[in-house]
Structure formats: C-alpha cells, structure tokens
Structure 1
C-alpha cells in the first residue's frame, strides 16, 4: 500500500515539474496537477485508478462515520437542554461574571437583580431594565439570566 502512495506522489511531482516554470510556483499548479492525475485512465506504474480510489473511499467512509457520530452526540446533548421562554415584562436575575481574584471567595454573590425584560431579540439577547426603569448599558444573553419568582 505504501508503494502505491509513493508512486502516486512521484507521478504528481512529475506533472507539477512539467507545468511550473520555477520551483516557487508549485503550490499554484498543485490542484491542476492533482486533477490531471485523478482523471488519468491508467498510471505509469500500471495501476488502475480503481485501486487508488479505494483509498479515497475508505477515507470518505471514516469521515462519514465521524460526522454521523457528531450528529448523534449533538442530538443527545440537545435533548437534555431545556430552553427557557421569556416574555417582555418577566422578572429575571442576571449572573455576575467577576474576575478570578475576588477577595470574598465563596461568599461572592453570583446573581444580581431582579430586572425586567424590556425587549427580546431573535438570537436570545434581551434588553433589561432595573425596577426603577433605567436601562442596563449592555444587552444580556438568555443563557446568563434566570427567571425570578416573587
């Protein structure tokens, strides 16, 4: 199998040498040389391209298997995720993202609020206002807020 790959590389190198003027241009002509080599009916070593395409078919099968595995894992993960639906006027609390070196340690508050949802955008962003009606400077994402129950 290794000899077949070496022969293919040798033939592609010969095609590139015939197509380029200087050695610095090889990367521009590589796709054309590869296409020319793949469209040959018979290689100079006597191997049919069906044998070389077998390598490509195995590589394609591995890629398809990995993609199917990733889809299954994504589906399993998304099955457990429960999306919260928020409406304008709901009360929420917002998670505080603090720097690591907070001196309060484990007593550091993790949420602030409550806030009122003023506007909701399609991507999950929302504009929050305080209970007094003052808007926050930056919109908050739906994954850092929780519903506030009174």
Structure 2
C-alpha cells in the first residue's frame, strides 16, 4: 500500500529566482467563504534552507520576515 502511494508523490523542489504562489493559511473575518482566494502571489524565492524552509520576496523586492514551509507553496508559471 505504501509503495502505491509513494509512486504518486511528487517532490517539490524550489531554487532561487523561482516564481511561487503562497497558500492563504489564515481565514480573515472579511473573507468570502468558499469564494475567497486560496493563494497569494506571485512571489520570488530568495533563499532555500534544508528541511523545506523558504524565504520569499515580493515583486517589488521587499523581503518577508518569516520563512515559509515548502508545503504551503506551489510554482507559478506566467
């Protein structure tokens, strides 16, 4: 059973300069319910650490203060 599951798992690899979308993790009180946005972005990957932590920059070059886990990101293809 584990072998069948592991066949379908895709490794998420990010490198500096990749464009990514960040998943909205917190639901705000003014959200639109199921019509709310699921992802923010695009962001640019600044630095990748071991263990899946990633530091992002927005398009303007401003750095986000906290590292983001790679499971909350997906690649953006313009």
User: If the TM-score is normalised by the length of the shorter chain, which range does it land in?
Assistant: 0.7 to 0.9
Tell me the residue number matched to 1:145: 73
Between structure 1 and structure 2, the one with the greater Rg is: 1
- Report how many residues are paired: 78
TM-score (ref. length: structure 2): 0.86
Q: 1:122 to 1:103 in 2, by over 3 A?
A: closer
Which stretches of structure 1, 4 residues or longer, exceed 4 Å deviation after superposition?
100-103
> Higher relative contact order by CA 8 Å / sep ≥ 6: 1 or 2?
2
Structure 1, unpaired ranges of 5+:
1-72
Question: Normalising to structure 1: TM-score of the pair?
Answer: 0.47
CA shift in 2, pair 1:75/1:102, >3 Å: farther
Give the Cα–Cα distance (whole angstroms) in 2 for the partners of residues 76 and 127 of structure 1. Answer: 33
- Structure 2: give runs of 5+ residues left out of the alignment: none
Higher strand share: 2
